[in-house]
Amino acid sequence: MKLSKPLIAGLGLMLVGMTSLAHADQWGPGGPDDHGHYDHRDDRHDDHRFDHGGPPPRDFGPIRQHAFEHRGYFGRAERLPPGVFVVQGRPLPPGYGRPLGPRELEQLPYYPGYQWIAYGPDIVLIQDGTGVVYQVLQGVLAY
C-alpha cells in the first residue's frame, strides 16, 4: 500500500500537467485565433507581390520581368567560371551561387519546397534538399 499512494499522486500530477500543455498551444502564434502574431509586411509594396505558398507556375514571365525591373534590390553573385552551366532539371553545380537574403526574397514569390539562388547574372529556383534546378531567370541581374 505504500507504493500506491505515491503512484496515484504522480499520475495525478502528470495528468494535470498534460492537460495544461494541451491547452497552451491555442494562445501562441498560429493558434486558432493567431494571438500574438504581428504582421511585419509593409503594405505599401503590395502592388508588386505575387501569390505566396502555392506550387510554382508554368509561366515565369511576370516574375522574370518584375525581377529585372527591381534588380537594384538584388546583390550580385560571383561570375561563373567558363564551362559551368545551369541546366533546368539537373542539380545546381555545387559550390556556386548564393541563397537570396530577406530583402531580395521580398521581391520574389515563395514556393514551399523550393528556394531562390543568385547564380551569376541569373536567379535560379531550385528544389530544397535535391538542389535540382526548376527554373532559371536568365540575365535578370545583368546591368
N-terminal to C-terminal alpha carbon distance within the chain:
83
pTM score of the predicted model: 0.59
35 touches 25 (CB < 8 A): no
Whether the pLDDT of residue 77 is over 70: the answer is: no
pLDDT per position as a tens digit, 125-142: 999 989 999 999 988 887
Domain ranges (residues) in the chain: 1-38, 43-137
Sequence length of the chain is 143
Least confident of 14-18, 52-56, 96-100, 107-111: 14-18
Q: Partners of 99 in the beta sheet?
A: 117
pLDDT per position as a tens digit, 26-64: 444 444 444 444 444 444 444 444 555 677 877 888 888
Q: Which amino acid is at 139?
A: G
Grid coordinates of 77? 553573385
Separation between Cα atoms, residue 67 and residue 126, nearest integer Å: 16
DSSP category for residue 90: S
When pLDDT is cut at 50, 70 and 90, the band that residue 81 belongs to is confident
126 touches 134 (CB < 8 A): yes
- What topology is assigned to 43-137 in CATH? Nuclear Transport Factor 2; Chain: A, (3.10.450)
